[in-house]
Amino acid sequence: MEQSRFRYGSAKPKKNPRQMGPIKLPKENKMNRRSFLLLSAGLTSLAVAAPSWAQELPKLKQKDKYKVGFAQTESNNPWRIAQTESMKAQAQKEGWQLVYTDAAGSAAKQVADVNSMIAQGVDLIFLAPREEKPLIPAVMNAKKAGIPVILLDRSVDPNLAKPGVDYVTFIGSDFVQEGKRAAEALDKAVGGKAKIIQLEGTTGSSPANDRAKGFKEYIKDHPDMQIVASQSGDFVRDKGRQVAETLLQAHPDATAIYAHNDEMAIGAIAAVEAAGKKPGKDIIIVSIDGERDALRAVADGKMLATVECNPKFGPKAFETAKRYAMGEKIEPWVINPDRFFDASNAKDMIADSY
Ligand code: AHR
């Protein structure tokens, strides 16, 4: 599988004077004890004032039970609800205290939520950053406070914060690959020819950025597959419906819809039907997630396929935190493998879905 998310910068954090070990004076050095002490004091004060990039990644002490935070982005779709349930269930299983917050779709609130977790003295923070850039202060504040952060499902701007340096790791899917797989499925179904409306996820979020990127990368070698319009539906069903309605009116020649998540795809089905067209015949719809309503739509022939993005993070999140506490070196990206649902298997998966 192509691992396309991280663009690691080459800049290494400068060595913190606190990590430099005892200072050895060469034999010929004429420095007296007083000036040596002054130099040491100077280095110590430098270390105290060290900027966040020069600080070490906070450690997690080994304990039986932890108090951990989970900063959720919003709870307006089945995917988010399934993710929250998985985190809460795992916390209960481990007997760990979970401080849970819901940012209700506001990046500013999510930063405030993380600050409040810091004030409450949690041992570690699981953060699902709503958008790539606005959540950087949350990551950096936790680091400054000595609290390790594990990013869940979405990432932050890799030019501004790095795994293993500013946060422990990112646990999540390969969104670029998801976009490519959606494009490939569409390509096969339409014989390489489609006029596509793209319904983008939340602007500035890593899944919206990367799912658009993967899809675009795939269709660049397929000149008869063209995106004729692209607009954000914010990962929300009703917004997806409204945007699809408008774009279908503006582009009556559209033959396909690529939605960055199932909720918007379900909204798009309603928009297609409202336009007097048949979803799955006149307009081919493909999306990402694998939620129950989408599996039903695939089984009913209204949607072509959905690429899985698994929301059940609980077991992997808590296991990664425990590995980190034991001093294991954590890989920068703990990848969630994704399945693929189309007419061949969607019906069988419904009972097990969310
Ligand atoms: O970050 C993952 C995305 O966020 C899911 O695809 C979407 O449904 C959710 O809101």
Q: Calculate how far, in angstroms, residue 261's C-alpha sits from the geometric centre of ligand 1.
A: 7
Q: Calculate how far, in angstroms, residue 130's C-alpha sits from the geometric centre of ligand 1.
A: 10
Among 212, 209, 114, CA closest to 154: 209
Please, are residues 148 and 168 in contact by the beta-carbon 8 Å criterion?
Answer: yes
Q: Do 179 and 138 sit in the same domain of this protein?
A: no
**Is the CB of 80 within 6 Å of ligand 1?**
yes
**Is the CB of 130 within 6 Å of ligand 1?**
no
* Residue 181, in any domain of the structure: yes
Length of the chain measured in residues: 354
Q: Do 213 and 258 sit in the same domain of this protein?
A: yes
Q: Do 107 and 131 sit in the same domain of this protein?
A: yes
What is d(CA 154, CA 11) in angstroms, rounded to the nearest whole number?
23
Atom of ligand 1 nearest to the CA of 289: 6
**Is the CB of 175 within 6 Å of ligand 1?**
no
Atom of ligand 1 nearest to the CA of 154: 1
- How many whole angstroms from its chain centre is CA 71? 13
* Residue 199, in any domain of the structure: yes
Q: How many domains does the chain have?
A: 2
* Residue 347, in any domain of the structure: no
* Residue 166, in any domain of the structure: yes
Determine how many CB atoms are found less than 10 A away from the CB of residue 128.
24
Q: Do 118 and 180 sit in the same domain of this protein?
A: no
* DSSP classification of residue 5: S
**Is the CB of 236 within 6 Å of ligand 1?**
no
pLDDT in tens, the chain (354 residues): 344 444 333 333 333 333 333 333 334 344 444 444 444 444 444 444 455 556 899 999 999 999 999 999 999 999 999 999 999 999 999 999 999 999 999 999 999 999 999 999 999 999 999 999 999 999 999 999 999 999 999 999 999 999 999 999 999 999 999 999 999 999 999 999 999 999 999 999 999 999 999 999 999 999 999 999 999 999 999 999 999 999 999 999 999 999 999 999 999 999 999 999 999 999 999 999 999 999 999 999 999 999 999 999 999 999 999 999 999 999 999 999 999 999 999 999 999 999
Q: Do 304 and 316 sit in the same domain of this protein?
A: no
Q: Calculate how far, in angstroms, residue 77's C-alpha sits from the geometric centre of ligand 1.
A: 9
Q: Calculate how far, in angstroms, residue 349's C-alpha sits from the geometric centre of ligand 1.
A: 19
Cα separation values, 156 from 26, 31, 183, 194, 207, Å: 45, 47, 25, 33, 11
pLDDT at residue number 242 = 98
Among 232, 215, 213, 229, CA closest to 105: 232
Domain that holds residue 269: 175-309
Q: Do 153 and 244 sit in the same domain of this protein?
A: no
Q: Do 168 and 231 sit in the same domain of this protein?
A: no
Q: Calculate how far, in angstroms, residue 21's C-alpha sits from the geometric centre of ligand 1.
A: 45
Atom of ligand 1 nearest to the CA of 74: 10
Q: Do 261 and 315 sit in the same domain of this protein?
A: no
Q: Do 226 and 298 sit in the same domain of this protein?
A: yes
Which among 153, 156, 260 is the best mutation to test ligand 1's pocket, defined by most ligand atoms within 8 Å of the CB? 153
**Is the CB of 195 within 6 Å of ligand 1?**
no
Q: Calculate how far, in angstroms, residue 110's C-alpha sits from the geometric centre of ligand 1.
A: 16
Q: Do 169 and 179 sit in the same domain of this protein?
A: no
Q: Calculate how far, in angstroms, residue 147's C-alpha sits from the geometric centre of ligand 1.
A: 26
* DSSP classification of residue 91: H
**Three-state SS at 101:** strand
Cβ-in-10-Å burial (0-12, 13-18, 19+) of 203 comes to exposed
Which among 102, 209, 211, 235 is the best mutation to test ligand 1's pocket, defined by most ligand atoms within 8 Å of the CB? 235
Q: Do 292 and 206 sit in the same domain of this protein?
A: yes
Determine how many CB atoms are found less than 10 A away from the CB of residue 34.
8
**Is the CB of 143 within 6 Å of ligand 1?**
no
Which among 72, 73, 79 is the best mutation to test ligand 1's pocket, defined by most ligand atoms within 8 Å of the CB? 79
* Residue 167, in any domain of the structure: yes
**Is the CB of 207 within 6 Å of ligand 1?**
yes
* Residue 5, in any domain of the structure: no
* Residue 100, in any domain of the structure: yes
* Residue 22, in any domain of the structure: no
Which among 261, 291, 336 is the best mutation to test ligand 1's pocket, defined by most ligand atoms within 8 Å of the CB? 261
Atom of ligand 1 nearest to the CA of 73: 10
Among 267, 128, 258, CA closest to 206: 128
What is d(CA 27, CA 342) in angstroms, rounded to the nearest whole number?
75
DSSP alpha helices (H): ranges in the chain?
33-48, 78-94, 107-119, 136-144, 175-190, 206-219, 237-250, 262-274, 292-299, 314-325, 346-349
**Is the CB of 309 within 6 Å of ligand 1?**
yes
Q: Do 195 and 282 sit in the same domain of this protein?
A: yes
Q: For position 226, which CATH number holds?
A: 3.40.50.2300
pLDDT at residue number 55 = 81
